[in-house]
Amino acid sequence: MPTAVPEHRHDHQHCIDEAVGHARQLCAERGVRLTAIREQVLTLVWANHQPVGAYRLLEALAEQSERRSTPPTIYRALDFLLEQGLIHRIASLNAFVGCTDPGHHHSGHFLICKHCNTAIELDAANIDHAISQSAQQRGFAVDSQCVEVVGSCQHCRELGHD
Amino acid sequence: MPTAVPEHRHDHQHCIDEAVGHARQLCAERGVRLTAIREQVLTLVWANHQPVGAYRLLEALAEQSERRSTPPTIYRALDFLLEQGLIHRIASLNAFVGCTDPGHHHSGHFLICKHCNTAIELDAANIDHAISQSAQQRGFAVDSQCVEVVGSCQHCRELGHD
DNA sequence: ACAGGAATTGCAATATTATAACATTAATCT
DNA sequence: AGATTAATGTTATAATATTGCAATTCCTGT
């Protein structure tokens, strides 16, 4: 499993390679197709640890491909990647970010820094548990959850952005 | 404090009246103006316990006022109500819902039924606590959080929608 | 009462995000 | 190879949200 909390300086190419490698493997296992476009979009989403919007991805794709795609192309690729659990959607930002732990199903829980926009994915069983507990008390059966926490990350706080 | 979990059959007019009364009082205390439009929008948001989109509010307002407003009118009213903590925004639905406990600051935590669309606001200290804990472990200072849980509410489950 | 200034609302245009519908191409399977 | 399904291209449009400026309303101090 990749590091959930990226060091602020790290070999990011490694993150990308690992994510793409993992995706290929999972898609192969599942008998679904990680097509060129889908892999390109996944790579672009993984360009950094900041959630990125569909139209920014569209531009980035255009720069690479010298062939202008249209929104459905991106959204379909994103839908596929979401279905396969390879990326997460950050609802409060209308943006997408790579999943650091695809392969086992989980709702995304994120800490999002308001300064550097980095999204840190949590694997927080205690949050899950707290939510299940509250839900259960009310007879509510949980399907999916979205937890998005905005604030200041450690690195930015150390730099005095707070 | 109003009931956080509305009974499926309840005197909803009471919810509305209470919300509006509470809003008036809070705005008076704070020296801010709950204008006619703002109060109207608040009332419309409180029309039921289901999150409602800005453009639906716009239509509803038009029906009442025989005078067609434009999007900025609604969005400004919503912004005001959000700032005053009188409503919450449900990011995953691009929709708004009345706050059942304005007056003390809190992030909204919601259970949203996929069948009847009812949003149940939680006052879940345990969720808050779990989030703070995870954040703290990573040196992350929390500003605001958004917790949106989708699933089936008790009432709908009892009706077999599950 | 009334002028000055601030807050609120009106209004037109436009930005941003996302989807629908249908044609075309590519991959897969007998 | 031909049939079938999956994926992509293309055009248009829907849904959500904001900008910028003008007009109006409200409040404040005199």
Interface of B with A (CB under 8 A): 5, 91-92, 109, 111, 113-114, 120, 122, 124, 126-127, 129-131, 133-135, 138-154, 157, 162
Q: Note the pLDDT of residue A106.
A: 81
Nearest-CA neighbor of B43 among B76, B75, B3, B87?
B87
Chain-wide mean pLDDT for chain A?
A: 94
**How far apart are the C-alpha atoms of A88 and B92, rounded to whole Å?**
13
Beta bridge partners of A110: A121, A148
Instruction: Find and list the nucleotides of strand D having atoms within 7 Å of a protein beta carbon.
Output: 6-13, 15-20, 26-27
What average pLDDT does range B89-103 have in this prediction? 96
| pLDDT tens per residue, range B40-93 | 999 999 999 999 999 999 999 999 988 899 999 999 999 999 999 999 999 999
**How far apart are the C-alpha atoms of B15 and B99, rounded to whole Å?**
11
| pLDDT tens per residue, range A110-151 | 999 999 999 999 988 999 999 999 999 999 999 999 999 999
| pLDDT tens per residue, range A66-94 | 889 999 999 999 999 999 999 999 999 99
Of chain B, the percentage scoring pLDDT greater than 70 comes to 97
Q: Note the pLDDT of residue B107.
A: 77
Render the burial of B77-95: b for 16+ CB within 10 Å, e for the rest: bbebbeebbbbbbbbbbeb
Q: Which residue has the higher pLDDT, A138 or A105?
A: A138
Q: pLDDT band at residue A12, thresholds of 50, 70 and 90?
A: very high
Q: Look up tokens 């996944």; give the residue.
A: A42
Q: Note the pLDDT of residue A4.
A: 62
State which residue of chain B sits closest to A158, comparing Cα positions: B139
* Residues of B whose CB is below 8 A from A126: 130, 133-134
**How far apart are the C-alpha atoms of A155 and B14, rounded to whole Å?**
48
Neighbours of B28 (CB within 10 A): 11
Chain-wide mean pLDDT for chain B?
A: 94
